[in-house]
Amino acid sequence: MTVQADQAYGSGPRQQLDIYAPAGVHNAPTVLFIHGGSWNSGSKAEYRFVGESLARAGYVVGVMNYRLAPEYRYPSYVQDSAQALAFLRSHAARYGGSPDNLFVMGHSAGGFNAVETVVNERWLSEVGVPVSSVRGVIGLAGPYSYDFRQFSSREAFPQGGTPDEIMPDRHVRRDAPPHLLLTAENDGTVAPQNAVNMERALKAAGVPVERREIRGVNHVTIVAALARPLGWLGDTRSQVLDFIEAHRLR
Protein backbone atom coordinates (compact mmCIF):
# COMPACT_ATOMS: atom_id res chain seq x y z
CA MET A 1 0.00 0.00 0.00
CA THR A 2 1.17 3.52 -0.78
CA VAL A 3 -0.04 6.78 0.74
CA GLN A 4 0.06 10.09 -1.11
CA ALA A 5 -0.58 12.73 1.55
CA ASP A 6 -1.85 16.28 1.23
CA GLN A 7 -3.01 16.17 -2.37
CA ALA A 8 -4.59 19.54 -3.18
CA TYR A 9 -8.04 19.40 -4.76
CA GLY A 10 -8.49 23.18 -4.26
CA SER A 11 -6.48 26.25 -3.39
CA GLY A 12 -7.34 26.51 0.32
CA PRO A 13 -5.24 24.97 3.12
CA ARG A 14 -8.10 22.67 4.12
CA GLN A 15 -8.79 21.53 0.56
CA GLN A 16 -6.56 18.49 0.62
CA LEU A 17 -6.93 14.73 0.70
CA ASP A 18 -4.73 11.71 1.34
CA ILE A 19 -4.86 8.86 -1.17
CA TYR A 20 -4.36 5.26 -0.01
CA ALA A 21 -3.69 2.79 -2.81
CA PRO A 22 -3.13 -0.96 -2.61
CA ALA A 23 -0.48 -2.50 -4.83
CA GLY A 24 -1.36 -4.39 -7.98
CA VAL A 25 -4.97 -3.29 -8.48
CA HIS A 26 -6.60 -2.20 -11.72
CA ASN A 27 -10.00 -0.56 -12.12
CA ALA A 28 -10.59 -1.02 -8.40
CA PRO A 29 -13.47 0.68 -6.60
CA THR A 30 -12.48 4.19 -5.58
CA VAL A 31 -13.84 5.47 -2.27
CA LEU A 32 -14.02 9.04 -0.95
CA PHE A 33 -14.28 9.23 2.85
CA ILE A 34 -15.49 12.43 4.57
CA HIS A 35 -14.83 12.93 8.29
CA GLY A 36 -17.29 14.17 10.89
CA GLY A 37 -16.99 16.83 13.57
CA SER A 38 -20.15 18.98 13.48
CA TRP A 39 -18.72 20.75 10.39
CA ASN A 40 -16.48 22.83 12.69
CA SER A 41 -13.75 20.34 13.61
CA GLY A 42 -12.07 17.12 12.57
CA SER A 43 -9.23 16.18 10.27
CA LYS A 44 -8.26 13.52 7.77
CA ALA A 45 -5.29 12.78 10.03
CA GLU A 46 -7.71 11.28 12.57
CA TYR A 47 -9.05 8.81 9.99
CA ARG A 48 -5.92 7.23 8.61
CA PHE A 49 -7.32 3.94 9.85
CA VAL A 50 -10.20 4.25 7.38
CA GLY A 51 -7.84 4.71 4.44
CA GLU A 52 -5.67 1.83 5.58
CA SER A 53 -8.61 -0.49 6.25
CA LEU A 54 -10.32 0.05 2.90
CA ALA A 55 -7.06 -0.01 0.95
CA ARG A 56 -6.24 -3.37 2.54
CA ALA A 57 -9.60 -4.54 1.19
CA GLY A 58 -8.40 -3.69 -2.33
CA TYR A 59 -9.86 -0.23 -2.87
CA VAL A 60 -8.29 3.11 -3.75
CA VAL A 61 -9.31 5.54 -1.00
CA GLY A 62 -9.28 9.32 -0.62
CA VAL A 63 -9.63 10.65 2.94
CA MET A 64 -10.39 14.35 2.71
CA ASN A 65 -10.37 17.58 4.68
CA TYR A 66 -12.87 20.33 3.98
CA ARG A 67 -13.38 23.95 4.96
CA LEU A 68 -14.88 24.35 8.41
CA ALA A 69 -17.67 26.38 10.00
CA PRO A 70 -18.39 28.96 11.19
CA GLU A 71 -16.07 30.69 8.73
CA TYR A 72 -17.37 28.46 5.94
CA ARG A 73 -21.04 27.53 6.09
CA TYR A 74 -23.26 25.36 3.93
CA PRO A 75 -22.82 24.74 1.06
CA SER A 76 -19.04 25.35 1.17
CA TYR A 77 -18.16 21.99 2.70
CA VAL A 78 -20.53 20.15 0.36
CA GLN A 79 -18.92 21.86 -2.63
CA ASP A 80 -15.55 20.77 -1.21
CA SER A 81 -16.78 17.17 -1.13
CA ALA A 82 -17.88 17.38 -4.76
CA GLN A 83 -14.59 19.00 -5.76
CA ALA A 84 -12.60 16.33 -3.92
CA LEU A 85 -14.61 13.62 -5.65
CA ALA A 86 -13.88 15.19 -9.03
CA PHE A 87 -10.17 15.30 -8.18
CA LEU A 88 -10.15 11.70 -6.98
CA ARG A 89 -12.02 10.61 -10.10
CA SER A 90 -9.54 12.33 -12.40
CA HIS A 91 -6.57 10.73 -10.60
CA ALA A 92 -8.04 7.31 -9.84
CA ALA A 93 -6.46 5.43 -12.74
CA ARG A 94 -2.99 6.58 -11.66
CA TYR A 95 -3.43 4.58 -8.45
CA GLY A 96 -5.21 1.56 -9.95
CA GLY A 97 -8.73 2.83 -9.30
CA SER A 98 -11.62 3.28 -11.68
CA PRO A 99 -13.08 6.73 -12.41
CA ASP A 100 -16.47 5.11 -13.02
CA ASN A 101 -16.50 2.88 -9.94
CA LEU A 102 -16.86 5.54 -7.24
CA PHE A 103 -18.27 5.30 -3.73
CA VAL A 104 -18.83 8.25 -1.40
CA MET A 105 -18.84 7.62 2.35
CA GLY A 106 -18.94 9.82 5.43
CA HIS A 107 -19.43 9.72 9.18
CA SER A 108 -21.72 12.08 11.12
CA ALA A 109 -21.42 15.55 9.53
CA GLY A 110 -19.38 13.85 6.84
CA GLY A 111 -22.30 11.51 6.25
CA PHE A 112 -24.48 14.54 5.59
CA ASN A 113 -21.83 15.80 3.16
CA ALA A 114 -21.60 12.46 1.38
CA VAL A 115 -25.34 12.06 0.89
CA GLU A 116 -26.02 15.71 0.01
CA THR A 117 -23.15 15.75 -2.50
CA VAL A 118 -24.70 12.93 -4.49
CA VAL A 119 -28.48 13.23 -4.04
CA ASN A 120 -28.67 16.96 -4.80
CA GLU A 121 -28.03 17.12 -8.53
CA ARG A 122 -26.54 20.60 -8.24
CA TRP A 123 -23.21 19.59 -6.68
CA LEU A 124 -21.99 16.89 -9.06
CA SER A 125 -23.16 19.00 -11.98
CA GLU A 126 -21.03 21.91 -10.78
CA VAL A 127 -17.84 19.82 -10.93
CA GLY A 128 -18.66 17.76 -14.01
CA VAL A 129 -18.95 14.36 -12.34
CA PRO A 130 -21.69 12.21 -13.93
CA VAL A 131 -23.92 10.60 -11.31
CA SER A 132 -23.61 7.34 -13.25
CA SER A 133 -19.96 7.13 -12.15
CA VAL A 134 -21.04 6.90 -8.50
CA ARG A 135 -21.94 3.31 -7.70
CA GLY A 136 -23.04 3.89 -4.11
CA VAL A 137 -23.25 6.18 -1.10
CA ILE A 138 -22.57 5.10 2.49
CA GLY A 139 -23.68 7.18 5.47
CA LEU A 140 -22.54 6.37 9.00
CA ALA A 141 -24.75 8.00 11.65
CA GLY A 142 -25.41 11.04 9.50
CA PRO A 143 -27.77 13.97 10.31
CA TYR A 144 -29.68 13.99 7.02
CA SER A 145 -33.00 15.32 8.29
CA TYR A 146 -33.15 17.58 11.32
CA ASP A 147 -33.93 21.14 12.32
CA PHE A 148 -30.44 22.55 12.82
CA ARG A 149 -31.89 25.81 14.13
CA GLN A 150 -32.42 24.12 17.50
CA PHE A 151 -28.78 23.05 17.93
CA SER A 152 -25.32 24.60 18.19
CA SER A 153 -24.61 23.19 14.72
CA ARG A 154 -26.76 26.03 13.34
CA GLU A 155 -23.47 27.93 12.99
CA ALA A 156 -22.63 25.60 10.11
CA PHE A 157 -25.64 26.80 8.12
CA PRO A 158 -26.63 30.17 6.66
CA GLN A 159 -28.50 32.57 8.89
CA GLY A 160 -32.15 32.39 7.94
CA GLY A 161 -31.70 29.02 6.26
CA THR A 162 -34.34 26.34 6.73
CA PRO A 163 -34.24 22.53 6.76
CA ASP A 164 -36.37 22.45 3.63
CA GLU A 165 -33.66 24.38 1.80
CA ILE A 166 -30.71 22.40 3.16
CA MET A 167 -31.44 18.88 4.38
CA PRO A 168 -30.52 16.05 1.97
CA ASP A 169 -33.84 14.26 2.38
CA ARG A 170 -35.49 17.23 0.63
CA HIS A 171 -33.15 17.07 -2.39
CA VAL A 172 -33.29 13.51 -3.71
CA ARG A 173 -32.68 13.07 -7.41
CA ARG A 174 -34.42 10.09 -9.01
CA ASP A 175 -31.25 8.82 -10.69
CA ALA A 176 -29.24 8.66 -7.45
CA PRO A 177 -27.20 5.50 -6.86
CA PRO A 178 -27.92 2.93 -4.12
CA HIS A 179 -27.46 4.04 -0.50
CA LEU A 180 -26.39 2.24 2.66
CA LEU A 181 -27.45 4.10 5.81
CA LEU A 182 -25.89 2.70 8.99
CA THR A 183 -27.02 3.81 12.43
CA ALA A 184 -25.54 3.12 15.86
CA GLU A 185 -27.64 1.27 18.44
CA ASN A 186 -26.38 3.53 21.24
CA ASP A 187 -26.12 6.84 19.40
CA GLY A 188 -26.69 9.75 21.78
CA THR A 189 -25.57 12.40 19.30
CA VAL A 190 -27.44 11.89 16.03
CA ALA A 191 -30.95 10.46 16.23
CA PRO A 192 -31.51 7.35 14.07
CA GLN A 193 -34.70 9.06 12.87
CA ASN A 194 -32.43 10.96 10.46
CA ALA A 195 -31.76 7.70 8.62
CA VAL A 196 -35.42 6.71 8.77
CA ASN A 197 -36.43 9.99 7.12
CA MET A 198 -33.63 9.73 4.56
CA GLU A 199 -34.62 6.16 3.72
CA ARG A 200 -38.22 7.27 3.22
CA ALA A 201 -37.20 10.06 0.85
CA LEU A 202 -34.94 7.77 -1.17
CA LYS A 203 -37.63 5.13 -1.49
CA ALA A 204 -40.17 7.74 -2.56
CA ALA A 205 -37.81 8.69 -5.40
CA GLY A 206 -37.28 5.06 -6.38
CA VAL A 207 -33.66 4.99 -5.20
CA PRO A 208 -32.39 1.66 -3.78
CA VAL A 209 -31.56 2.00 -0.09
CA GLU A 210 -30.62 -0.24 2.81
CA ARG A 211 -30.90 1.01 6.40
CA ARG A 212 -29.22 -1.06 9.08
CA GLU A 213 -28.43 -0.70 12.75
CA ILE A 214 -24.98 -1.63 14.04
CA ARG A 215 -25.49 -3.28 17.40
CA GLY A 216 -23.41 -2.38 20.43
CA VAL A 217 -21.82 0.78 19.05
CA ASN A 218 -22.27 4.49 19.72
CA HIS A 219 -21.78 7.58 17.61
CA VAL A 220 -18.00 7.28 17.74
CA THR A 221 -17.43 3.55 17.77
CA ILE A 222 -19.57 3.00 14.67
CA VAL A 223 -16.74 4.53 12.64
CA ALA A 224 -13.95 3.18 14.85
CA ALA A 225 -15.21 -0.30 13.93
CA LEU A 226 -13.99 0.33 10.38
CA ALA A 227 -10.46 -0.28 11.68
CA ARG A 228 -9.40 -3.86 11.00
CA PRO A 229 -8.31 -4.58 14.60
CA LEU A 230 -11.57 -3.19 16.02
CA GLY A 231 -14.07 -5.43 14.30
CA TRP A 232 -15.14 -6.70 17.70
CA LEU A 233 -16.81 -3.33 18.32
CA GLY A 234 -19.40 -3.96 15.62
CA ASP A 235 -19.80 -5.08 12.03
CA THR A 236 -19.43 -1.68 10.34
CA ARG A 237 -16.51 -2.83 8.21
CA SER A 238 -18.16 -5.98 6.93
CA GLN A 239 -21.37 -4.08 6.14
CA VAL A 240 -19.42 -1.49 4.16
CA LEU A 241 -17.36 -4.04 2.28
CA ASP A 242 -20.42 -6.15 1.45
CA PHE A 243 -22.20 -3.07 0.07
CA ILE A 244 -19.25 -2.04 -2.08
CA GLU A 245 -18.80 -5.56 -3.42
CA ALA A 246 -22.52 -5.79 -4.23
CA HIS A 247 -22.58 -2.55 -6.21
CA ARG A 248 -19.11 -2.22 -7.73
CA LEU A 249 -18.51 -2.48 -11.46
CA ARG A 250 -16.97 -5.79 -12.50
pLDDT of residue 53: 98
The pLDDT tens digits for 129-166 are: 999 999 999 999 999 999 999 999 999 999 999 999 99
Which residue stretches of 148-227 are H helix?
163-166, 193-204, 221-224
Rounded-to-integer distance, Cα 102 and Cα 247, Å: 10
pLDDT of residue 242: 98
pLDDT of residue 76: 98
The verdict on whether omega for the bond into residue 70 sits within 30 degrees of 0, i.e. cis, is: yes
Per the prediction, the chain carries an average pLDDT of 98
Count of structural domains, the chain = 1
Sign of dihedral through CA atoms 54, 207, 184, 187?
positive
Residue 56: count other Cβ atoms within 10 Å of its Cβ: 13
Mean pLDDT in residue range 216-229: 98
pLDDT of residue 209: 98
Rounded-to-integer distance, Cα 85 and Cα 73, Å: 19
pLDDT of residue 152: 93
* pLDDT band at residue 182 under the 50/70/90 scheme: very high
Rounded-to-integer distance, Cα 211 and Cα 232, Å: 21
- Are 193 and 207 in contact, with CB atoms under 8 Å apart? no
Q: Which domain holds residue 120?
A: 2-247
pLDDT of residue 197: 98
* % of the chain at pLDDT higher than 90: 100
Taken as a whole, the chain contains a residue count of 250
The pLDDT tens digits for 83-106 are: 999 999 999 999 999 999 999 999
Q: What is the DSSP letter of 11?
A: S
The pLDDT tens digits for 193-205 are: 999 999 999 999 9
* pLDDT band at residue 180 under the 50/70/90 scheme: very high
* % of the chain at pLDDT higher than 70: 100
Mean pLDDT in residue range 178-189: 98
The domain that holds 167 is classified in CATH as 3.40.50.1820
pLDDT of residue 52: 98
The pLDDT tens digits for 102-138 are: 999 999 999 999 999 999 999 999 999 999 999 999 9
Whether pTM > 0.95 for this model: the answer is yes
Q: What is the DSSP letter of 176?
A: P
Q: Which residues contact 45 (CB under 8 A, 6 or more apart)?
A: none
